[in-house]
């Protein structure tokens, strides 16, 4: 009898343990399911590339289709070029989880933009030999005014990442256009200057023989591009004529590519890589994490107070709401770099004013968004 009683107690204990394990398993599964749902909700982002059929747009779209962050589920391609549909079909054959939609023509821009979390804009014409950024402005300003107006109607809450040159003028043009439409959010409008950092890092690393990170501030055209070698991640002993030469190379790296291509194109592949890199950082920010290792050309209150430049490229922190803070990176520059910044300020101010003035003009005949 005692033995039977002990067996009964052991069985009851085993049953309780089994029930407890079952409850724990169910709770674990529920937690896992909840985490999975959260993960799914945070990776379900739609990116729209405006100018997707061009020299920047195609490789940029390819890199976004690769989905290195795992955060993109939908990629919307837009351009006026008929080949855009073919670009979409081509990309759709790549085995990643990103769905591709392709839209052609002005009447389809609304469909392309609708539902986008990020709109990245390489649309416009590329720079050719002998073509100044002012020449480029005259064509690309009309295109960007048209896109910004459509953006305001169909995706006003998305992040707008501007690649179209000249960025120094295009971002202010977008800001003014969105303000006119009553939807301007300075935290979500950014000019992509990542290529300047790419160049500074590459040129410095080639000299140093190891990886170097160098912040680049100011603008995104010629002398407005100021690499801060003194703040590089590795000590750089750049002096005299060599310092001038490598600084100038970063400032005019775009000219180097245009000349090397002999008029057949501009910096499309490197810009696409830099653009994709910045989009990925924005996706990480949208997913709920704070991103603190980026630089972008944004509305910058501290730069405006210091230099009178409403927009300025400097270090930023981002989260799901866009730019959290733009930092006065230039305050840590050395004497050489501070002098370069002071010298370029008048040009940057003029380029900012040019974009705003264009946006205020009557552009009833604005040009469509063309490939870049």
Catalytic positions are 220
Give the phi and the psi of residue 253 in degrees, each rounded to 5: -60, -30
Give the phi and the psi of residue 80 in degrees, each rounded to 5: -90, -15
Tokens standing for residue 349: 């101010």
Of the candidates 175, 177, 76, the residue with the CA atom closest to the CA atom of residue 118:
76
Q: Are strands 159-162 and 118-121 parallel, antiparallel or unpaired?
A: parallel
270: left (phi over 0), alpha (psi -120 to 50) or beta: alpha
Give the phi and the psi of residue 317 in degrees, each rounded to 5: -110, 140
Helix orientation angle between 269-286 and 194-208, rounded to the nearest 10 degrees: 110
Look at the block and give the residue holding tokens 């073509």.
Answer: 131
Q: Are the beta carbons of 219 and 352 closer than 8 angstroms?
A: no
């Amino acid at each position: 009898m005692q033995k039977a009683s002990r067996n009964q107690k052991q069985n009851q204990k085993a049953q309780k343990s089994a029930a407890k394990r079952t409850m724990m398993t169910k709770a674990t599964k529920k937690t896992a399911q909840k985490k999975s749902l959260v993960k799914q909700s945070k990776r379900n982002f739609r990116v729209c590339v405006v100018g997707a059929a061009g020299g920047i747009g195609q490789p940029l779209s390819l890199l976004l289709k690769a989905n290195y962050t795992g955060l993109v589920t939908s990629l919307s391609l837009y351009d006026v070029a008929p080949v855009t549909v073919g670009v979409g079909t081509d990309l759709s054959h790549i085995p990643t989880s990103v769905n591709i939609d392709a839209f052609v023509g002005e009447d389809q821009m609304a469909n392309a933009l609708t539902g986008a979390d990020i709109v990245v804009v390489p649309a416009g014409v590329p720079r050719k030999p002998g073509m100044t950024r002012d020449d480029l402005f005259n064509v690309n300003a009309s295109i960007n005014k048209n896109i910004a107006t459509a953006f305001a109607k169909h995706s006003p809450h998305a992040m707008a990442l501007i690649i179209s040159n000249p960025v120094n003028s295009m971002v202010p043009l977008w800001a003014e256009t969105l303000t006119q439409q009553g939807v301007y959010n300075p935290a979500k409008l950014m000019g992509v200057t990542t290529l300047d950092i790419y160049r500074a890092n590459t040129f410095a690393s080639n000299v140093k023989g190891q990886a170097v990170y160098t912040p680049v501030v100011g603008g995104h055209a010629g002398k407005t591009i100021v690499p801060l070698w003194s703040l590089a991640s590795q000590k750089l002993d750049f002096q005299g004529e060599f310092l001038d030469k490598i600084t100038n190379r970063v400032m005019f790296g775009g000219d180097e590519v245009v000349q090397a291509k002999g008029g057949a194109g501009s910096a499309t592949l490197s810009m696409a890589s830099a653009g994709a890199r910045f989009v990925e950082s924005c996706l990480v920010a949208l997913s709920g994490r704070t991103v603190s290792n980026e630089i972008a050309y944004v509305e910058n209150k501290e730069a405006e107070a210091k230099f009178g430049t409403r927009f300025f490229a400097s270090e930023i922190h981002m989260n799901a709401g866009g730019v959290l803070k733009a930092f006065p990176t230039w305050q840590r520059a050395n004497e050489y770099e501070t002098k370069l910044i002071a010298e370029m300020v008048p040009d940057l101010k003029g380029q900012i004013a040019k974009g705003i003035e264009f946006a205020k003009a009557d552009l009833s005949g604005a040009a469509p968004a063309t490939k870049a």
